[in-house]
């Protein structure tokens, strides 16, 4: 990779300059990624036939006792994973299908594909959620698809997936804990481990981009932090579901700020970066202001959540 460049690079130039970094991190990823098999996390002997074509038993919420918020989070997590074809299209279109970039795109897609398979099989066999409602929700969500807000911008896309993969990891881990089912927690911990490795891959690429074009990278990070939304935000009823998930402490503003944005920004050493132009400095100031606003918003939410919990406890 060349020395730091002061002028903005084209998207093609960015892909070319980062190609060797992709190759290095692909080798690193393949060396540390663990092979695992979705079928090993599913209690197949617990399964029984549903109603319909084979005349089995209709689903009932009592079939598998779960906190309602756990059902909500499991469905949101699975529907998010279901949209993999759209995600693949986005990154394959941007990064290309050749060389190290293309190899990574296909490897990432293959690893992500296990997540939906494992979670759906687990939910179906254990009767944890209504399979009819789940399938209808899948059809609606996938029919809408997914489009990256910054679909034509390499650095913006790398910044987004760096944050998003870590956010998804946290959501999966915390969802597993609230289910109260050790097997589900083990499954989602395994999925989360994949997400963490994906985050490291993308985070390392953007770190290299900071060395290459610091102002361009800083602007991308500031823009993405300002308008970040989880890829599942297109799920029907997502706003209501996300509030329930936040109230349960599965994923909320405090976690987004303190456990996603802050540690990743620290890894990129954004506060100590030198060689920034005027826009790069403005982007860094924007990031600082964004973190302050998120801190205030998170505190307000926590106060309301605590007050709500106190009211419920007093009943």
State the pLDDT at residue 5: 54
Residue 132 to residue 59: CA distance in whole angstroms: 9
Half-sphere exposure of 210 (CA within 13 A, CB side): 23
Residuewise pLDDT in 10s, the chain (315 residues): 545 555 789 999 999 999 999 999 999 999 999 999 999 999 999 999 999 999 999 999 999 999 999 999 999 999 999 999 999 999 999 999 999 999 999 999 999 999 999 999 999 999 999 999 999 999 999 999 888 888 789 999 999 999 999 999 999 999 999 999 999 999 999 999 999 999 999 999 999 999 999 999 999 999 999 999 999 888 999 999 999 999 999 999 999 999 999 999 999 999 999 999 999 999 999 999 999 999 999 999 999 999 998 888 887
Residues comprising the chain, all counted: 315
Q: What is the pLDDT of residue 315?
A: 79
Residue from 204, 206, 102 nearest 153 by CA: 206
The partner residues of 50 in beta bridges, in order of sequence, read 57
DSSP 8-state assignment for residue 237: T
Task: State residue 64's pLDDT score.
Answer: 92
Question: Which residue matches tokens 């308008």?
Answer: 227
**Interatomic CA distance for residues 187 and 173, integer angstroms:** 9
Q: Output the CA torsion sign for 164, 166, 169, 173.
A: negative
Check residue 244 and give its pLDDT. 95
pLDDT of residue 1: 52
pLDDT at residue number 221: 98
Instruction: State the pLDDT at residue 276.
Output: 96
Buried b (16+ CB within 10 A) or exposed e, 72-103: bbbbbbbbbbbbbebbbebbbebbeeeebbee
Give pLDDT, residue 269: 97
Q: What is the pLDDT at residue 192?
A: 98
Beta bridge pairs of residue 57: 50
Residue 302: what pLDDT? 94
Q: Please indicate, yes or no, whether the overall pTM of this predicted structure exceeds 0.95.
A: no
Crossing angle of helices 214-227 and 182-212, rounded to 10°? 140
């Amino acid at each position: 990779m060349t020395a730091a460049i002061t002028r903005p690079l084209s998207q093609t130039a960015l892909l070319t300059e980062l190609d060797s970094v992709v190759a290095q991190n692909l080798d690193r990823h393949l060396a540390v990624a663990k092979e695992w098999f979705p079928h090993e996390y599913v209690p197949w002997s617990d399964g029984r036939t549903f109603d319909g074509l084979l005349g089995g038993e209709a689903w009932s919420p009592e079939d598998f006792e779960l906190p309602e918020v756990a059902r909500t989070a499991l469905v949101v997590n699975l529907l998010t994973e279901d949209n993999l074809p759209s995600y693949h299209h986005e990154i394959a279109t941007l990064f290309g299908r050749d060389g190290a970039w293309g190899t990574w795109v296909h490897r990432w897609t293959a690893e992500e594909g296990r997540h939906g398979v494992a979670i759906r099989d687990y939910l179906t066999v254990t009767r944890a959620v209504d399979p009819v409602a789940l399938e209808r929700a899948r059809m609606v969500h996938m029919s809408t698809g997914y489009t990256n807000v910054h679909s034509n911008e390499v650095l913006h896309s790398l910044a987004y997936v760096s944050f998003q993969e870590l956010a998804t990891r946290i959501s999966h881990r915390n969802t597993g804990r609230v289910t109260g089912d050790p097997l589900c927690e083990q499954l989602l911990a395994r999925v989360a481990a994949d997400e963490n490795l994906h985050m490291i891959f993308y985070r390392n690429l953007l770190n290299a981009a900071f060395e290459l074009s610091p102002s361009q990278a800083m602007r991308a990070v500031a823009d993405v932090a300002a308008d970040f939304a989880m890829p599942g935000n297109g799920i029907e009823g997502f706003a209501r579901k996300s509030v329930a998930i936040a109230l349960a402490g599965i994923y909320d503003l405090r976690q987004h700020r303190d456990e996603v944005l802050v540690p990743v920004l620290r890894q990129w050493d954004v506060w100590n970066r030198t060689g920034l132009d005027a826009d790069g400095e403005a982007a860094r100031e924007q990031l600082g202001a964004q973190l302050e606003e998120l801190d205030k918003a998170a505190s307000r939410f926590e106060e309301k959540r605590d007050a709500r919990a106190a009211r419920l406890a007093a009943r």
